[in-house]
Amino acid sequence: MASAQLLLLVPLLLLISCVVMASDPSPLQDFCVADANSTVKVNGVVCKDPNLVTAGDFFFSGLNKAGNTSTPVGSRVTAVNVVQIPGLNTLGISLARVDYAPWGINPPHTHPRATEILTVLEGTLLVGFVTSNTENRLFTKVLYKGDVFVFPVGLIHFQQNIGYGPAVALAALSSQNPGVITIANAVFGSNPDIPANILAKAFQVEEATITKIQSKF
C-alpha cells in the first residue's frame, strides 16, 4: 500500500516542481498579442482582439544594426521584448543584442524574471556571475566567437570585451519582460538617494566617498 501511494506521489511532486520552476505563465491560446492601449493591469499585458492582430505584431527589424557604444560603460543593449514585439506576450521568451566597444563592459546586473543564455557573434568576452549569499562564488569564462554561456535567473552577472575591436553578443531570456537591475545604478542612483550613511556602513567606506559616487549617477 505504501509503495502504491509513493508511486502516485512522485508524479505529483514532479508536476509541482515544474510549476514552481516555471518563469512566465504558459499561454492558454495560440497567441495573446499585447494591447499597449489597455488600462487594465494584469500580470503581463491584456490580450489584443485577435481579429485586429496582424503579422506586424510578431515582427521586429533592426538587430543587424550596431548599437551606439559611446556610453560611460562602453556598451549598448538593444532589447527585443514584449514592448518591441507585442506578440511575445505570454510566450515566456525575449532576446537582446549587446554591442561592446573595445574594453567596454555590460556592468554587473541581474534579470529578476529570467535566465539568460548568451552567444558571442563577434569578438572576445570575459563573462561571469556570482552565486547568492553566503558563498558568493564567482564563475568566469573567456568566450570567443560562437561560444555560449548561461547566467542563472536572478544572479548578478557581467560581460567585458577584452579584445581590441568591437564585440557583439546575442542574449536570449526566459521571459517576455525579464527586467534588469544594474547594481551600480540601483544602489548609487536611486530616486531619492539611499542615505549615504547606510551605504557607507554597507561598503565600509567614508560617507564622502559614497556622496562622490552618487553624484555620478
- The reply, when asked if residue 122 is annotated as ligand binding, is no
Name the burial class of residue 59, with classes exposed (0-12), middle (13-18) and buried (19+) by CB atoms within 10 angstroms of its CB.
Answer: exposed
- The reply, when asked if residue 116 is annotated as ligand binding, is yes
- The reply, when asked if residue 111 is annotated as ligand binding, is yes
Sign, Cα dihedral of 103, 104, 110, 111: negative
Q: What is the DSSP string of 155-199?
A: -EEEEEE-SSS-EEEEEEESSSS---EEHHHHHHS-SSPPPHHHH
Distances (CA, A) of 136 to 62, 115, 121, 129, 131: 38, 18, 29, 9, 5
Query: 10 φ, ψ to 5°?
Result: -60, -50
Q: Is the N-terminal amide bond of 50 cis, ω within 30° of 0?
A: no
* Angstrom distance (rounded) from CA 32 to CA 209: 49
* Angstrom distance (rounded) from CA 215 to CA 188: 8
- The reply, when asked if residue 207 is annotated as ligand binding, is no
* Angstrom distance (rounded) from CA 127 to CA 131: 14
Question: Binding site: residue ranges?
Answer: 106, 109, 111, 116, 157
Name the binding residues for oxalate: 106, 111, 116
- Binding-site residues for Mn(2+), please? 109, 111, 116, 157
